[in-house]
Amino acid sequence: MPALAKPLTNSAIKKALPKNGKEQTLTDAGNNRLICRIRSTQAGKVIKTFCFRCRHSITGKMTKITIGAYPETTLEEARTKAAELFIREENNTLLPLRTNNREQFVSHSIILSDAFDIWLKTSNGSKEHKTKVLQRYQKHVSKSLGNIPVHEITTPRVANVLDRLFDNGLRETCKRILSNLIATFDYLVNNGILQYNCLTSLRRNYRSSKKQSFKAINESELPELLKAITTSSSYIETKCLMLFQLHTMNSHRLDRHLLVRQND
């Protein structure tokens, strides 16, 4: 009688090693069909990857969907993702997608947040950079467009979100978000999820404007400016910085005035 599968534990995954150089598979107990593949590279590095076992929707053969590498992806996160994939499989909403000659699956009605997450994981960049990109997306885009299927994302919808940022003075943030969204849609086009990238044309709408110098004020207006800064609702640090800059900008004029008086 075959041994019953036991729930996976972090200690078991940490201790697991390939057997005689061959891949080892750890199975998690339950119906989510979560497994952890333990294998080594030619350089001798041990790689541990969470996968979900499912049946191919076209060929009917069993295959594996990569969830994430351990320990970057925790056991709890892998179980949550496996449960989501299990529900999608039961509802027949998994379709094949080829990336890097390896077969993975996405939902036919994949939403923008899922597509952005897939693109971000495959993109180049440090962990800190990817964290900033994700935080920027979640703050400015996720609430408005995150739950919309990518097939329903249109240029006016995205432009409506970007226009608000641009009009509020967040021009660099606007351009970076647009660049990330275009890269996400390029990824979907290259993998056959979309027919074309509808966001490329938005680049010309958010080009950098010509730099213009601020208008100068007369010295007679400085007292009024200082009063406005002092009584503003800005943070005390901001007020001090602005006052310091004003004093240092005009210090050479004061020094020259004192020298003239001394000479007189």
Query: Domain extents for the chain?
Result: 10-107, 112-206, 214-250
CA distances from 6 to 3, 31, 64, 68, 264 (A): 9, 12, 20, 21, 95
Domain 112-206: CATH superfamily, name plus number: Tyrosine recombinase, N-terminal domain (1.10.150.130)
State residue 27 phi and psi, 5-degree precision. -105, 135
Residue 55 pairs in a beta bridge with 62
Give residue-wise pLDDT tens across range 49-71. 888 888 765 556 677 777 888 88
Positive or negative, the CA dihedral 61, 62, 65, 66 is negative
Report the range of poorest mean pLDDT among 71-85, 95-109, 166-180, 220-234.
95-109
Distance separating alpha carbons of residues 109 and 62, to the nearest angstrom: 23
Question: 25 or 104: which carries more pLDDT confidence?
Answer: 25
In this structure, are residues 197 and 189 in contact, taking their beta carbons and an 8 Å threshold? yes
Best CATH choice for the domain 10-107 from the list 3.40.190.10, 3.90.550.10, 3.30.160.390, 1.10.110.30 = 3.30.160.390
Q: What's the pLDDT score for residue 137? A: 92
213 band by pLDDT with thresholds 50, 70 and 90: low
The whole model's pTM is what?
A: 0.45
Structure tokens at 169: 């003075």
- Beta strands 24-27 and 94-99: pairing type? unpaired
pLDDT over threshold 90, residue 100: no
| Average of per-residue pLDDT across 228-249 | 84
pLDDT-derived band of residue 182, with 50, 70 and 90 as boundaries?
A: very high
Instruction: Go through 8-17 and write b for each residue having 16 or more CB atoms within 10 A of its CB, e for each that does not.
Output: beeeebeebe
